[in-house]
Every structure is written in C-alpha cells, then in structure tokens.
Homo-oligomer: A and B are copies of this chain.
Amino acid sequence: MVIRYPNGKLYQSAPKLESTQEPTEHSTVAKEAKKRAISYSNRGKSLEDDLNETNMFYLQRKMANIHKKPVPIQIVKVDYPARSAAVIKEAYFRTPSTTDYNGVWNGYYIDFEAKETDNKTSFPLKNIHPHQMTHMESVTNQRGIAFFIIRFSSLNRNFVMSYNDVALAFQKMHEGGRKSIPLTVFEQQAIEINEGYLPRLDYLDAVKKLIAIGNVCESEEK
C-alpha cells in the first residue's frame, strides 16, 4: 500500500544524518544531504507542484486542458453534522487503475505519469507500476499520446520519454536485460525540459518534438 500525505504526495523520508556522525566533507551522507539542500533551494518545489503550476498556466492561457486526477479513495464512514459539511471519518487509499495526468491539447488526447528518482545514473524500472504500463498501452492503441515525465532530482534534470521507449526497456528487462534506463538513453531518446518561470516545465513543447520525430503513436495519421 502506497502511503500518501494529505497533500496527495507520496511519502518520502528525508535523507537522515546520524546524530553521532558530524557532517564532514568526507561523509557521503552529509554530502548527499548538502547536495539535496542545494538542489531543493534551486527548485523549491516537487515535480507534482511544478506540473500543477504548468497545467494551470496552460489552462489559463487556453493552451491545453490537462489535470491531475484525484487520488482514489475508498470511503467507509461519513458523518453528516447538521448545518455543516459532511466529514469523512474512515477511508482508505485505493490503487489507481490509470495514470495520474490526462487531458486534451490541440485535438490530442494526452496521458502521462510523473516520476522522480534520486538515482544519478539511471531510472529504476521498479518505479513504474504494471497497471500504468497496461493503461498506457491501451491509450496508445486508441491513438492517444502516452509518455512519462521523469525527474532526476539529484541532477535537477527533467525528461519526457515516450511510452514506446519505456515499453522497449521493459521488454529488454523481461528478456534478461537491465532493470533500469540509463541516463545516457534519456539523453539520446528522450526530450529534456529545462525548468523555466512560466510555465515551470513546458512539457508540451517536448511532446511536440516527440510527435515531430514520430516517437509517439500514430495520432498524426488521423
């Protein structure tokens, strides 16, 4: 069961400094913590926050209509106090059957999942759930545009990789290949997005490029 915080974000424990271990230049843990601190001060926000801001920007500028789906909840008990809002008193997180984001842009159905990794050299495929791949395969068959937005948090780099390329990596893994996608593959096959002010993460510009090089589904043939 994935545990999410009230803001809908996945719970991730902060890097821990052992209290008996003073941060020194030679301490890997300390270095890691320092780097993360710098990285966070540069970015300030999670990938989800950046995408929500970006989607709001697209919506207000009439550039696209793309939303994050609410987290699915199984509600067990609700109180209805007189003259005030209903209060959910017992509920559980459910596993989603789709990806987190979808919407429409310029006649295209857009569908994606956003993932962050602390890894500096590759993206572990275990971060992607089987139901997400199944869903994206179905979307691709319906000529929607399915992709991943992957952030290498430690490197402060963001990539848009098509579902097709991720599916290929899974296929290789099942044939005995590696269990992650190397950063070099992202650099070659994915489109890098540089963070900006408005929008924070212009991923639709990257999607345009994926369409231009024919690295997404056959939507163009419509």
Chain A positions within 8 Å of B, measured between CB atoms, are 1, 3-6, 8, 59, 62, 64-65, 67, 69-78, 80, 85-94, 96-98, 102-109, 111, 135, 138-139, 141-144, 219, 222
Contact = CB atoms under 8 A, between A and B. Distances in A.
Nearest to A86: B3
Q: How many copies of this chain does the complex contain?
A: 2
13 contacts: A4-B75, A5-B75, A6-B75, A6-B76, A69-B69, A70-B94, A88-B91, A89-B90, A102-B102, A102-B103, A104-B139, A107-B143, A107-B222
Nearest to A145: B104
Nearest to A72: B70
Contacts of A142: 64-65, 104-107
A187 B71 CA distance: 38
Contacts of A135: 65
Contact of A92 (B71, B88, B143): B88
